């Protein structure tokens, strides 16, 4: 701490606006914020309970899915000017109240959309070609070619629900695979010009025609538990359900029932209703044990957008939207 020529305290760090980063990010994000005059507090141990006691200190927040920015926190955040959501899902932020308080909210779905699309294609290939089962068998000296005969994606109809950044990235990557690609999006009238081969249809037509239904929707009151028994009954027999959006979009017990009955051929799931196994109730343990035991599902722990490249691009898009050049 220094004094200037007038005897006043001059502590530059104390005068800097503060930004809190609550999750692991690419170094370009904190370094660029510091270059633009912010004091950056990088605390991956931050949780919702702790944030209540310190949110008043910050001008900006950089958060991931473990944090929620609700009315209580917003009222305490007397200096807050912006919230940056790493990735896409904005259901963790009270957007209306942020808007009312003139707090800017940005996210970065462009940063990991290609990672999610590639991951989903990998899951579909693993499911349709029995790759996980075959891998386990070979490691156990079992050589069963006929028992692992696969099915090709070529010639199938891919139905994409939600044609935002990730749905569009999936359609683009599937463009040369010989599939018929259709989509349903209640809120999107236009799609990128490069996706002219994709046909917009109504929801019932998508359910009736699709061999694969790929979900790319935000979690809202409208989509919560949307993929339930009624939805699945309207789908083509033998459909594959692929969900890399939000776990709560699917009613897990109804999905399991449809998998057991054969109504659904298989499922690719990167997201789940409860993604914290340590908090499972006895009922949830029983439900997930059943799901995990099924041979016709491919599962991953919410890592579809989790690549080395997306780590950088998520941060880069956040900085771009906030107006801070690297």
List, by residue number, the catalytic residues: 246, 275, 302
Burial profile 69-93: b = 16 or more Cβ within 10 angstroms, e = fewer = beeebbeebeebbbbbbbbbbbbbb
According to DSSP, the residues that pair with 82 across neighbouring strands are 60, 104
Under 8 Å between Cβ of 112 and 305: yes
Name residues whose C-beta falls within 8 Å of residue 297's C-beta, 6 or more positions apart in sequence: 127, 259, 266, 267, 268, 269, 291
Angle between helices 252-261 and 282-293 (to 10 degrees): 40
The torsion defined by the Cα of 277, 282, 285 and 286, in degrees rounded to 10, comes to -170
The tally of CA atoms less than 13 A away on the side-chain side of residue 257 is 12
């Amino acid at each position: 701490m220094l004094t200037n020529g007038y005897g006043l305290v001059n502590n530059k760090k104390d005068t800097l606006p503060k930004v809190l980063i609550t999750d692991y990010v690419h170094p370009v994000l904190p370094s660029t914020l510091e270059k633009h005059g912010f004091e950056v507090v990088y605390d991956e141990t931050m949780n919702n309970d702790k944030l209540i006691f310190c949110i008043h200190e910050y001008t900006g927040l950089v958060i991931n899915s473990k944090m929620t920015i609700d009315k209580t926190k917003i009222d305490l955040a007397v200096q807050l000017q912006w919230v940056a959501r790493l990735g896409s899902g904005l259901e963790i932020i009270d957007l209306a109240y942020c808007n009312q308080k003139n707090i800017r909210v940005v996210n970065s779905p462009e940063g990991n959309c290609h990672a999610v699309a590639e991951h989903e294609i990998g899951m579909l290939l693993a499911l349709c070609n029995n790759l996980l089962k075959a891998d386990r068998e070979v490691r156990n000296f079992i050589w069963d070619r006929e028992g692992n005969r696969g099915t090709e994606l070529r010639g199938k109809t891919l139905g994409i629900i939600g044609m935002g950044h990730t749905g569009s990235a999936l359609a683009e990557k599937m463009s040369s695979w010989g599939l018929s690609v259709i989509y349903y999006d209640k809120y999107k009238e236009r799609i990128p010009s490069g996706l002219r081969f994709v046909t917009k249809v109504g929801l019932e037509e998508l359910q009736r025609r699709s061999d694969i239904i790929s979900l790319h929707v935000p979690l809202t009151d409208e989509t919560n538990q949307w993929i339930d028994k009624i939805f699945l009954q309207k789908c083509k027999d033998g459909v594959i359900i692929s969900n890399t959006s939000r776990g709560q979009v699917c009613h897990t017990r109804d999905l399991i029932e449809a998998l057991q009955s054969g109504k659904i051929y298989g499922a690719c799931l990167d997201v789940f209703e409860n993604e914290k196994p340590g908090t499972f109730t006895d009922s949830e343990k029983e439900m997930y044990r059943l799901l995990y035991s099924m041979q016709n599902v491919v599962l991953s722990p919410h890592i579809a957008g989790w690549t080395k490249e997306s780590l950088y691009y998520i941060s880069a898009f956040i900085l771009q939207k906030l107006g801070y050049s690297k």
